[in-house]
Amino acid sequence: MEVFKTICEIREFSIERKKRGERVGFVPTMGFLHEGHLSLVDEARRHADVVVVSIFVNPTQFGPNEDLDVYPRDFERDAELCESRGVDAIFAPSANEMYPTVNTTWVEETSLTKRLCGADRPTHFRGVTTVVSKLFNVVCPDVAVFGEKDYQQAAVVKKMVADLNFGVEIIVAPIVRESDGLALSSRNKYLSVEERGNALAIRQSLLDAKSAVADGERDSTKLADAAVSRISRAGGRVDYVEIADPDTLEPLLEIGDEAVMLIAAYFGATRLIDNARF
Ligand code: AMP
Ordered by start, the domain boundaries in the chain are 2-173, 186-273
Cβ atoms of residues 258 and 246 within 8 Å: yes
- Nearest atom in ligand 1 to the alpha carbon of residue 145 is 10
**Which atom of ligand 1 is found nearest the CA of 149?**
12
Side-by-side strand order, sheet with 24-29: 2-4, 89-91, 50-55, 24-29, 143-147, 169-173
pLDDT digits (tens, 9 = 90+) for 39-79: 999 999 999 999 999 999 999 999 998 889 989 999 999 99
127 touches ligand 1 (CB under 6 Å)? no
| Fold adopted by 186-273 | Pantoate--beta-alanine Ligase; Chain: A,domain 2 (3.30.1300)
* CA 149 to ligand 1 center in whole angstroms: 6
User: Are residues 206 and 178 in contact, defined by beta-carbon separation less than 8 angstroms?
Assistant: no
**Own/partner pairs, 82-86, CB within 8 angstroms, 24+ separation:** 82/1, 82/33, 82/41, 82/53, 83/1, 85/38, 85/41, 85/42, 86/41, 86/45, 86/51
Look up the CATH number of domain 2-173.
3.40.50.620
Most ligand 1 atoms within 8 A of CB, residue of 27, 132, 150 to mutate? 150
Q: What is the pLDDT of residue 67?
A: 87
Low-confidence stretches of the chain (pLDDT < 50) are none
Q: Which residue among 29, 129, 168 has the greatest number of ligand 1 atoms within 8 angstroms of its CB, and so is best to mutate?
A: 29
Contacts with 168 (C-beta within 8 Å, 6 or more apart), sequence order: 26, 136, 141, 142, 143, 144, 161
CA distance 129 to 150: 13
List the one residue out of 103, 98, 90 whose CA is nearest residue 58.
98
**Cα–Cα distance for residue pair 54/99, rounded to 1 Å:** 15
Residues with a known catalytic role: 37
23 neighbors 167 (Cβ within 8 angstroms): no
DSSP for 187-214? GGGG--HHHHHHHHHHHHHHHHHHHHHH
Residue closest by Cα to atom 12 of ligand 1: 147
Cα distances (Å, whole numbers) of residue 159 to 152, 197, 262: 10, 36, 18
Task: Return phi, psi of residue 232, to 5°.
Answer: -65, -40
One-character DSSP codes across 143-182: EEEEEGGGHHHHHHHHHHHHHTT-S-EEEEEPPPB-TTSP
Of 98, 171, 88, 87, the residue nearest 133 (C-alpha): 98
- Tell me the C-alpha distance between 201 and 214, whole Å: 20
CB 150 less than 6 A from any atom of ligand 1: yes
